[in-house]
Amino acid sequence: MPWFATIAIVAIIVFGITQIISMATGRPLPKGANSDEVEELKRRIAELEAAEKPQQLEDEPHIPTKAEENMAAEDRWRLDMLEARLEELEQKRKNNDDGTQPE
């Protein structure tokens, strides 16, 4: 077995032993976060989340999402198709009222 593999195995075993000891004693590892810091951070997060969010104005402009852009394009296309169909039907009705045959 190469020498660097032995070093890696020993490092993994030492790390595992330190984790087991810290878990058994209930004390964090050195440079680890203690429970007071964690509780303080949780409290600050709760305060920030509970803070009132500013109300957005209804007329405030916003950047449309890709889905909104696609929906708008589809709506414009449908409107164009309906207008074209309406013009076609009005032309046919006008031709029938004049007594001429449609082309």
For the segment 12-24, what is each residue's pLDDT rounded down to a tens digit?
999 999 888 888 8
> Per this entry, what is the length of the chain?
103
How large a percentage of the chain has pLDDT more than 90? Answer: 31
With a cut of 90, say whether residue 86 has pLDDT above it: yes
Q: What is the pLDDT of residue 32?
A: 63
**Looking at the whole model, is its pTM more than 0.75?**
no
CA pair distance 39, 89, nearest whole angstrom: 72
Of 18-22, 41-45, 59-63, the one with minimum mean pLDDT is 59-63
Contact of 73 with 64, CB cutoff 8 Å:
no
